[in-house]
Amino acid sequence: MLKKFLIPLLICMNTPSFAVSYDPSNKINQLALTMALLKQNYIDSMSDNDIAEKAIRGLLNQLDPHSDYLDINDFSTLNDATNAQVTGIGVEVTIQDGILKVVAPLDNSPAALAGIKNGDLITHVNGAVVFDIGFNEAIAQIKGKEGSKVKITIVRPGQNKPITFDITRKQIKAPTVRSEMLSDDIVYLRISYFGMPTALEVKKQLASIMKKNKNISGLIIDLRNNPGGVLESAIEVSDLFLDKKTMKYQGVIASAKERNLNVTQEFKAKSEDMTDGLPIAIIINSGSASGAEIMAGAFKDHGRATIIGERSFGKGSIQTVLPLSDTSAIKITTGLYYTPSGKVVQQSGIDPDIVSPKLVAAEANLTTKIRESDYLKSIGSNQDNIQKPASIKDSQLIEKFGIEIYQAIQTLTNTQKGLLCH
């Protein structure tokens, strides 16, 4: 009988006394009592501030994967990410059922070079189960000091066994823009993240390429594994390729509806198309999120580009940072983003016009005859009954950039032929 009554007895002995009557049905009273009990009885001594901070973090983490408490270090990390400077392994994550889900590894980051891919589920960090240590502690352990190592265990859909990576952390100053000529007339533009300088860099690189190459007939914008970034940057980059005079939907690139705003905030094009209507193909995948989805959605609604790949991640919520003090703040979800036609991005994502096959170049036999009909089911041709093998150049292109690039080139080529016919 002693065992049966021991716990209630301890609770009675250690319950703080209140000057006012305690109402057990009042959750605020329960919270205050819980904090007092923790301070008096928890195995490790904690200050009131420590307990309160954990309570705030727990409250915000229960809301959604993106709301969080920011201390001075978290806020500094957020600013570094905004400016495309991060320390760690270089991976964008969200939380799914208590497990970290990889949205995308940054280009040329330790995570990407180690082989971590979008969709991977991080189950352990340095041997500790993520579900046990919590989201914030797992993120803190992943970061660490430059030059130190972290052990990451992931579960990958389609793989029977977990995969463990030993990754060396480093300071990452990720270039957000890269461009090159894929052929004599096709430009490739890779945008890996929307940071503050991204729009200026896109404009600078494209202007340089267009000045050197006078016969450009198409542009491929690669947004695969682009986790988003700064909304204003995504809007500015989109504006470079949209003409406010000819756009539908009153020139809207994206709109935002927040709980405490009576009107919908609209982000509109302000300038003319710097490419003068050059045909565009945008490539997305399940790692394309947030700002990447806003750009792809705008181009799709306005008919400015053909979207190629697979359905995007579906992260279209607005996070607002509200200060609590000079050294702390809360980041909470306050609204949703919509495409120009009014389509909600959150959870739905952006569907491509042309779906790419699930093909990994390293696993494919690149000497096999690759036929347009195999990959371009949405594109008609007068020569559909004629099948030609891909050239060695095509195979090398697929091996380096992926099958989506091949599809994009064929799409732009067909578009150009259509323009010439008309």
List per-residue pLDDT tens for the chain, 422 residues long.
433 333 333 444 355 555 556 787 899 999 999 999 999 999 999 999 999 999 999 899 889 888 889 888 777 666 666 655 667 898 888 776 667 888 888 888 899 999 999 889 999 999 999 888 877 788 888 888 889 999 999 999 888 999 999 999 988 776 789 999 998 899 999 999 898 889 999 999 999 999 999 899 999 999 998 988 888 999 999 999 999 999 999 999 999 988 776 667 899 999 999 999 999 999 999 889 999 999 999 999 999 999 999 999 999 998 888 999 888 899 999 889 999 999 999 999 999 999 987 644 333 433 333 333 332 333 333 334 333 445 556 777 777 788 888 888 888 887 665 544 43
- CA gap 58, 98 in Å, rounded: 13
Contacts of 369 by beta carbon, 8 Å cutoff, 6+ apart: 387, 388, 389, 390
Question: For residue 50, what are the CA distances in angstroms to 55, 97, 130, 382?
Answer: 9, 26, 21, 70
* Per-residue confidence (pLDDT) for residue 262, from 0 to 100: 64
CA-based torsion, 120, 124, 126, 132: positive or negative:
positive
pLDDT at 318: 85
Structure tokens at 97: 């059922």
> Is the separation of the CB atoms in 249 and 235 below 8 Å?
no
- Residues annotated as part of the active site: 290, 301, 315
Q: Is 123 helix (H, G, I), strand (E, B) or coil?
A: strand
Helical ranges in 224-307 per DSSP H: 231-239, 291-301
| Tokens linked to 72 | 């001075």
Q: How far apart are CA 307 and CA 350, in angstroms?
A: 9
pLDDT of residue 217: 94
Task: Write out the H or E segment, with its range, that includes residue 150.
Answer: strand 149-155
Which pLDDT score is estimated for 97?
67
pLDDT given at position 7: 36
What confidence score (pLDDT) does residue 250 get? Answer: 94
Structure tokens at 144: 């660490």
Contacts 24+ apart (CB under 8 A), 393-396: 394/370, 395/366, 395/367, 395/370, 396/366
pLDDT given for residue 124 in this prediction:
93
